[in-house]
Structure 1
Amino acid sequence: MNRRVTVAITGASGVIYAVRLLRYFLTHAYEVDFIISDAGKINFKVEMDWDLDKKGVVEFLKNKFGHDIDKGKLREWPVQAIAAPMASGSMRRLGMVVVPCSMKTLSGIAHGASTNLIERAADVALKENFPLIIVPRETPMNSIQIENMLTLSKAGARIVPAMPAFYQKPQSIDDIADFIVARILHMLGIDDHELFQPWGG
């Protein structure tokens, strides 16, 4: 299995979903290409009390989860680095996850705008038929936003709204976030985890 994956954070609330996903990938020896938009950095600072312009995401993850993340590898790419490897279909990968996905980024991807590396990498994932997982976090939604999700779904993206379940009786916010992380991993064909107990009827 290809163990290289792209993870992008945009300007929607819900940074915890990306943090928990990065934790899984890096503690399970995956190679992550990481992109974060300017608005994503603002939300990261608000929700995680960490300024990524002063200290990088790897330092944040080590501070939060320890050196277990050293099992994997993370490389951060500037959001305007349009010539980065994931902007080309020749770079093979497991897939791409945009989590959380703002409605602005959702619209940009749905309309093929490719105005930055996140949008371009997502466009490449669609044209090369790599798994593209979009995790929108917005409520309520208007018809334009819903149409954009439908457009992406028809193009082959997987839409995984940040809508956690509670039948697994979560004991913490991390448990709630891990349910969504598990659904993302399932869309990538990864089920060898213990993030939550599947529904047993």
Structure 2
Amino acid sequence: MTERIVFIGDSITDAEHTSDLRRLGHGYVDMIFDAFAARGADVEIVNNGIAGNRVAHLRERWQTDVLDLRPDLLTVFIGGNDTISTLFQGSPTPVADFERDLDDILTRAVAAGIPRIIVIDPFFVSDAPWAGNWKDGSEFARADLDTKRPVVRALADRHGAAFIPLQDHVTAAIAERGGAIVAPDGLHPSSFGHRLIARLWLATYDALA
């Protein structure tokens, strides 16, 4: 039976998937699909990432974009815009609001009977060589995201979801290769960064099997 896997999140997951005939984008979701194809696995992958989304946006579209699809496996990767939007939209997400919304969507996912959930830790590269509109606020961005990342881990544990500590792996990759190789603007992964996410995701998936 075909396994349906739904990915939901922001631009990192989106990766311009609506412009892709396969509707997968050019990032880690596409790489995961190719890995499954190489294995000969019978899977259906749905990319429901939307650039610019924060956790509140996921909460608004949770029923149609997650629950109605009845996934066998759900991946949630959100948090970067909840920090970055403070800098270029003047619209912060207090950590209490972030926790409330993330707790709500995970609670609803579990209540709907989604059997497996993977939650990915949001990351930020504070010393990236180019950070666009948020470059001058990179120290704030890293500090703000550092208050939200423990919430992500705690809620993943609370709801029995597998957790990928992406920031730890990104930090290790930066030490070996440099920030420009991983995420030149601090927030969006390079092809190397997307491969890193895909590799970590596949290892997590295999551990759940």
TM-score (norm 2): 0.48
Query: Whose helix fraction is larger, Structure 1's or Structure 2's?
Result: 2
